Amino acid sequence: MAKNNILKHLAIIMDGNGRWAKNQGKKRTEGHKVGAEVVREITTYCANHETIETLTLYAFSTENWKRPKAEVSFLMKLLDNYLRKELDVYMREDVRFETVGDISAFSDKLKKTISETKEVTKNNKKLTQVLALNYGSRDEIVRAANRVIKNNEKLTEESLSAALDSPYTDIDLMIRTSGEQRLSNFLLWQLSYSELYFTDTLWPDFKSDELESIIDEFYGRERKFGGI
């Protein structure tokens, strides 16, 4: 393992559900269903990894509202059902559930489910799973700056960082599935010195053995953080 290559915070842009469904001759909603099952597998793997403390998953962006109304409605129901079904998994695997993003636009029912899941899992210790929901990094940074200003603080890296949605550590490794090679407004502040990995695998086909191979490759990288 190279110096500084301890993986504590892993972030994943889960991309490719729609293309997977199209390739299978199925509706896009089927891709999202299978993608939710993959979340369980990857979360369980991370909860049992010796160093990973936080797993942040890009679940629904601020731009995703532009999708067809029926698909957005399905995604909201899928998230609600996922959280209810996964509660036993969270407790069994000792996973704490958190979110980043502006969930105020969600239905009262979904907001209640999110709040209850956070409350029930708040004392779990092995892993914190963070879902980025109605999340956009530019939006997060603007809201954080406004918090600093409202509190009459001086705007510095430290004060802005503390005001962000995510109080967690900077990200060590970010993975994006499906072959796309862009950040899509995801955790731009937290990704400043992250290692990036792009895989052609569509999210519903992404498995823990591939994640393990990517992590092994990450261990071989030299992270300089702006130094020599």
The DSSP code for 168 is S
Residue at token pair 């609600």: 80
CB 175 within 8 A of CB 12: yes
Which is nearest to 173 in space by CA: 67, 20, 52?
52
The DSSP code for 176 is E
Q: Which of 4, 5, 15, 205 is catalytic?
A: 15
- Indicate if 123 belongs to the active site: no
Q: Which of 64, 94, 139, 205 is catalytic?
A: 64
CB 10 within 8 A of CB 219: no
Beta-ladder partners of 210: none
- Indicate if 102 belongs to the active site: no
Distance in angstroms (rounded) separating the CA atoms of residues 204 and 177: 9
CB 198 within 8 A of CB 15: no
Catalytic site residues?
15, 64
